[in-house]
Amino acid sequence: MPILQIRRHGSSATSMMELPIPGYKTESDPPKYQPERDPLPRPANRGWTPGVSRRNTQYLQSIDFDIMPGTAYAVTLTIPAEAMNRVTPDEFHRWLDRLLGYLKRRALLHYYWVLEFTAQGTPHLHCIMWFGDSFERYRRTYIVDDTMVWRMVIGRWVALLKADDVAALPQAQDVRCIDGGEGWAAYCAKHASRGVRHYQRQLDNMPYDWRAGPGRMWGHDRKLPVADTMLYRLDLHTFHVLRRQLRRWCISRARLRKDPDKRRYAIVSARRMLRCTAPDMSAFKGIMTWIPREIMIQMIHGITADGRRHADRLTVMTEDQYNAARAQCTTYEQIRQLNLTTKIVRR
């Protein structure tokens, strides 16, 4: 059955088939013990894959920037193209780790970064960093302003590369202050809208030495305030109505663009967002879009107001909580009802 996920700044809906529970044939069968299976080995890193791009977008949509402390800065860091013949992924990520460690000791509160590649195969780093108003270092108090952030970020990055005989130019780097939550949301939407098919995320645009093991493509400090995700189980008819409603909403938002070229492209993209050439898959095509949580909840309530369509709120459980609740079930119907009203998450 289709599952709807409502996050702080976006939503996604996917349709899946309901599979039978192994080990349960009839209602009279008692619950059987199923030993825990060993986790599957982690696959090799292959850069920007559909799963990596999807998880990146979902995490960006879940961040609650309204309660984010500090001042946000958009940072872009680059490497000279002539040095890419000797820069390895391990060396690049070592520079990044040392830069973040340096900034954490100097008023860095939170950070989020995304690694992309130009058409020439040169990696460049997009970061969003939150800095406090001041920090203490060597018994002195330093005030953090735009000039201080520029010196700390770009100055340290250029020094790290220079120590390894890589001549990075300060003019090729960029640091800009982001004003308010709307600027942060626009910055996130810009980079999250680039899927795995974008030329800056294709495997062919990576340097040849990077394709075997490029490392992580995005990361954060694991302390960003993330809002809880609301889950709903929909019937197939409600899922189809919701997709059409979301497409209409995206078209209306695209018509608000001021730039004529961007408005034309956004309208065409919104109209084609549900297009699928495979007849057997078009009815189950999922959807993901940037939409405020409040608007999405109102849309669900409007769709189900007449009583002909249904959207059941799911209970989020961990694996331990689910196993404890399942151990109390004695019939197949109870287990099936538990599966229909719960969603297991890993923490």
DSSP H or E stretch at residue 96: helix 89-104
Report yes or no on 229 lying in a domain: no
Q: Is there a domain that residue 145 lies in? A: yes
Q: Give the pLDDT score at 17.
A: 46
Angle at 64 between CA 59 and CA 66, to 5 degrees: 155
Domain match, 69 and 197 both: yes
What pLDDT was estimated at residue 309?
A: 80
**Side chain identity, residue 279:** P
Q: Which of 102, 154, 103 is nearest to 131 (CA)?
A: 103
Give the pLDDT of residue 157.
Answer: 96
Residue ranges of the chain with pLDDT lower than 50? 17-35
Report pLDDT for 31.
Answer: 45
In a domain, 314, yes or no: yes
Helices and strands, number each (H, E), in the chain: 10, 14
Residue 34 has a pLDDT of 47
pLDDT, position 308: 78
CATH code for the domain in which residue 206 is found:
3.30.70
**Strand order from edge to edge, sheet including 287-290:** 287-290, 10-14, 3-6, 230-234, 311-313
For residues 241 and 97, state if they share a domain: no
Segments forming the whole domain that contains residue 200: 65-220
In a domain, 43, yes or no: no
Q: Domains in the chain: how many in total?
A: 2
Question: In terms of domains, do 21 and 84 share one?
Answer: no
Angle between helices 89-104 and 146-163 (to 10 degrees): 140
246 within domain boundaries: yes
Strand segments, DSSP code E, in 286-338 are 287-290, 311-313, 315-317
Last residue of one domain, picked from the residues 172, 188, 220: 220
Q: What is the Cα–Cα distance from 113 to 191, expressed in whole angstroms?
A: 10
Q: What predicted TM-score, i.e. pTM, was given to this entire model?
A: 0.79
262 lies in a domain?
yes
Query: 122 and 27 in one domain?
Result: no
47 contacts: CB under 8 Å, gap ≥ 6: 201, 203, 206, 210, 211, 214, 217
- Please tell me the predicted confidence (pLDDT) of residue 130: 93
Please tell me whether residues 238 and 215 are part of one structural domain.
Answer: no
Q: Tell me, what's the pLDDT at 347?
A: 56
